[in-house]
Amino acid sequence: MASELIQLQPHDEHNSKLEANVHPPTWTNPTPSQPYHLVVIGAGTAGLVTAAGAAGLGARVALIERELMGGDCLNVGCVPSKGVIRAARVAATVRDASPYGVEVPEGVAVDFAKAMQRMRRLRASISPADSAKRFSDLGIDVFFGQGAFVNDNTIMVTRGDGSVTPLHYKKAVIASGARASAPPIEGLDSVHYLTNESLFSLTELPRRFGIVGGGPIGSEMAQAFARFGSEVFLFQRGDHILPREDADAAAVVQKHFERDGIQLMFDSKDMKVGPADDGAIRVQVTQDGKPSETIVDQLLIAVGRAPNVDGLNLEAVKVKYDHAGVDVNDFMQTSNPRIYAAGDICSKYKFTHAADFQARIVIQNALFAVGPFGKKKASDLVIPWATYTSPEIAHVGLYEQEAKQAGVEIDTYIQHFADVDRAILEGQDDGFVKIHTKKGTGTIVGATIVAENAGDMISEITVAMVGGLGLGKIASAIHPYPTQAEAIRKLGDQFNRTRLTPISKGVLGCLRRLNVGA
């Protein structure tokens, strides 16, 4: 059995509750109900949704998990990170209260241990939704152990005590997810470093915190720990953070990073690490051709993911995979037609909500589709995402560069929050909403929002894209005043103004003069 459980540190009442739900120490694997309509390997979001959905539709389902039910999202990803980010945002709100007429005479004192305890308590309170008991109560046979394919109808489950249970299946789903993997950095093995899988076990705030990688995880944690009071050094090979996002949006976030005091170590190449005095870590890089050395107390590696294919024995069932994960077609089907996959193990979209909707496709295609009839396609999904910095960046659809590469001609509409009343009043007026439409039409093909609550706002645009509602329709929907979402409606007005040709403007002018007697 993997050592994931060891990372539930400290072993306090909250982590004990979490463990009791997602990997009960006294759990006894059930007697198999053979054969199963569906055997699911992995109890992260993709596996849980697949298992629950299939069982709810009357299928006999077995669910195998070797580590913690809930997967990365509950245990070492979305849930704990957002708990930490919320505490950091509160600290920043208090720190920046003076312009609002709120004075904090003694400054901001952060109790990091208490903030992390709060996170653990809330994570544990959420965990019953992903628990072994809940899924067993749904009629699913829950097995803890390593699942491995034997042939086209058998999966073997091996527990840490060496006991082995064969499960016979008609269809199977690989939902084993992915894990943090470190890049080849010289000397990395000589120091104790953190990944997202160990970061949330911290109980003491690092005085000097090094983070390698300016993507979503690295950026979110850099800002959070800076707001807690760490001196943060963010090492990035490129010349700006969040390189996959809209460059204008990333620039807005980067400006806030500078305000938060994050040391942005751009153009960091030829990295070497090693031990320093008093348990610290020495980080050496080349920046602009010049050597640079930084001493940190903790080092977070926030780049690299590896698919969890080890131990699955995929070769036995001729399932193709590579360093990026399991190969699937548009129907989430592997190279073995009886075996499907969903979630981080096979998707370029490493998001909980993407895994959720891919699992729904698997249920339909594995259990109900007959030949080509009734099948659902992953390419039909419209998948938004958000990075939870302050401000947040949220995106859906095509970026401008992607549209050009795909040969899609677009019009771009931008509404800055500097011209949105609620944003001005909130003191959050340096972001924007940017929407791309097919040229000459209001059909939305992509959008980016940079705002404090961008992750919530992007859903309106996603709904419009899924429902085929263009910018003109958004303009006709009344938005409450004052809200930041009014920025989206203003973009609809921008689009409608482009529809006024010289002739239509002339006709409208004549009608106006007739109505007012001019």
Residue 141 marked as a ligand binder: no
The C-alpha torsion from 362 through 366 and 368 to 372, rounded to 10°, is 100
Say whether 217 counts as a known binding-site residue: yes
107 annotated among ligand-binding-site residues: no
Give one DSSP letter per residue of 305-318, joined into a string. EEE--TTS-GGGGT
261 is in an annotated binding site: no
214: annotated binding-site residue?
yes
The domains located in the chain, with CATH, are 4-90+109-170+307-380 (3.50.50.60), 188-304 (3.50.50.60), 391-501 (3.30.390.30)
**Beta pairing partners, 111:** none
The whole-model pTM stands at 0.94
| pLDDT digits (tens), the chain, 518 positions | 334 455 689 999 999 999 999 999 999 999 998 899 999 999 999 999 999 999 999 999 999 999 999 999 999 999 999 999 999 999 999 999 999 999 998 878 999 999 999 999 999 999 999 999 999 999 999 999 999 999 999 999 999 899 999 999 999 999 999 999 999 999 999 999 999 999 999 999 999 999 999 999 999 999 999 999 999 999 999 999 999 999 999 999 999 999 999 999 999 999 999 999 999 999 999 999 999 999 999 999 999 899 999 999 999 999 999 999 999 999 999 999 999 999 999 999 999 999 999 999 999 999 998 777 889 999 999 999 999 999 999 999 999 999 999 999 999 999 999 999 999 999 999 999 999 999 999 999 999 999 999 999 999 999 999 999 999 999 999 999 999 999 999 999 999 999 875 655 565 566 556 676 55
Is there a binding annotation on residue 504?
A: no
- The pLDDT score that the predictor gives to residue 372 is 75
Rounded to the nearest 10 degrees, what angle do helices 216-228 and 78-95 cross at?
Answer: 40
Is 279 annotated as a binding-site member?
no
Q: In the prediction, which pLDDT does 518 show?
A: 54
> Does residue 194 contact residue 300 with C-beta atoms inside 8 Å?
yes
Classify strands 385-387 and 392-397 as parallel, antiparallel or unpaired. antiparallel
Q: How far apart are CA 473 and CA 378, in angstroms?
A: 27
Q: Is 19 annotated as a binding residue?
A: no
Bridge partners (DSSP) listed for residue 306: 179
Tell whether residue 219 is among the known ligand binding residues: yes
Cβ atoms within 10 A of the Cβ of 80, count?
Answer: 22
Scan for tokens 């036995």, then name that residue: 316
Q: Is 229 annotated as a binding residue?
A: no
Show the DSSP H helices in 229-344 as ranges: 247-259
| Long-range CB contact pairs, 137-140, < 8 A, 24+ | 138/51, 138/52, 138/55, 138/56, 139/55, 139/61, 140/51, 140/52, 140/55, 140/61, 140/62, 140/63
Q: Let me know: does 127 contact 70? Beta carbons within 8 Å.
A: yes
Q: What is the structure's pLDDT at 471?
A: 96
Position 214: which residue type?
G
Amino acid identity, position 482: P
